[in-house]
């Protein structure tokens, strides 16, 4: 049995011990909180804040904003040059050429080879298309459609000849009558 259970200790002694224990507990808890706040602050300053101080001047913020906006505009111009029109030379992108050709070609005609010789300074080029057609009528329709587009001018059929069965080496069923062709036309590279 302990002495406090018998209550032989004076009340002032018991209160003093309780007060001392409570004081140590609260002092330790307060010290621990201060250490955590200090460590959190140091971590924030070194890892999160990265030197951006609240005292940063408005001119510095504006300068940083202007630099960021200039970088964004530079990226936009590069994207426009890749996908649409080259902003420096004013020439069409190759994707425009491919889209127009795919719109013009019917189901009975297809290309196996495209050759483009261009002169960017003059804004012109020569496009050569080789491929197959199921009939000369399809080929004639393709030439008319090519001439009607402003991007392509002076379309000329270089040759059209029937393909013999020995030339049909693609391993897929092909029509009985198949024509090999080559078409050349002038290509207008400058945006209209």
Q: What's the CA gap between 127 and 155, in Å, rounded?
A: 9
pLDDT of residue 21: 85
Domain boundaries, the chain: 11-51, 94-188
Output the 3-class SS for the chain.
CCHHHHCCCCHHHHHHHHHHHHHHHHHHHHHHHHHHHHHHHHHHHHHHHCCCCCCCCHHHHHHHHHHHHHHHHHHHHHHHHHHCECCCCCEECHHHHHHHHHHHCCCCEEEEEEEEEEECCCCEEEEEEEEEECCHHHHHHHHHHHHHCCCEEEEEEEEEEECCHHHCCCCCCCCCCCEEEEEEEEEECECC
pLDDT of residue 3: 54
User: Which of 98, 145, 131, 126 is closest to 188 using CA atoms?
Assistant: 126
pLDDT of residue 93: 64
CATH topology of domain 94-188: Gyrase A; domain 2 (3.30.1360)
pLDDT 10s digit of each residue in the chain, 192 long? 455 566 666 777 767 777 888 888 999 999 999 999 999 888 887 777 665 555 667 788 888 889 999 999 988 877 765 554 454 445 566 777 788 888 888 888 888 898 888 766 666 788 899 998 988 889 999 999 988 888 888 899 999 988 876 555 555 556 677 889 999 998 876 655
The torsion region of residue 115 among left (phi > 0), alpha (psi -120 to 50) and beta comes to beta
């Amino acid at each position: 049995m302990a002495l406090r259970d018998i209550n032989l200790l004076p009340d002032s002694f018991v209160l003093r011990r309780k007060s001392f224990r409570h004081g140590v507990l609260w002092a330790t808890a307060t010290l621990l909180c201060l250490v955590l706040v200090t460590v959190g602050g140091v971590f924030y300053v070194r890892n999160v804040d990265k030197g951006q101080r609240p005292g940063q001047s408005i001119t510095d913020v504006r300068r940083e904003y202007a630099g960021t906006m200039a970088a964004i505009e530079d990226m936009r111009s590069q994207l426009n040059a890749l996908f649409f029109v080259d902003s420096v030379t004013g020439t069409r992108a190759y994707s425009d050429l491919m889209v127009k050709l795919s719109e013009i070609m019917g189901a009975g005609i297809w290309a196996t080879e495209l050759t483009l010789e261009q002169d960017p300074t003059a804004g012109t080029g020569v496009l050569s298309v080789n491929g197959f057609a199921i009939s000369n009528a399809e080929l004639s329709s393709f030439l008319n459609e090519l001439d009607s587009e402003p991007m392509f001018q002076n379309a000329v059929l270089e040759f059209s000849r029937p393909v013999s069965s020995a030339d049909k080496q693609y391993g897929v069923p092909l029509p009985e009558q198949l024509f090999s062709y080559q078409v050349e036309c002038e290509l207008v590279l400058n945006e209209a």
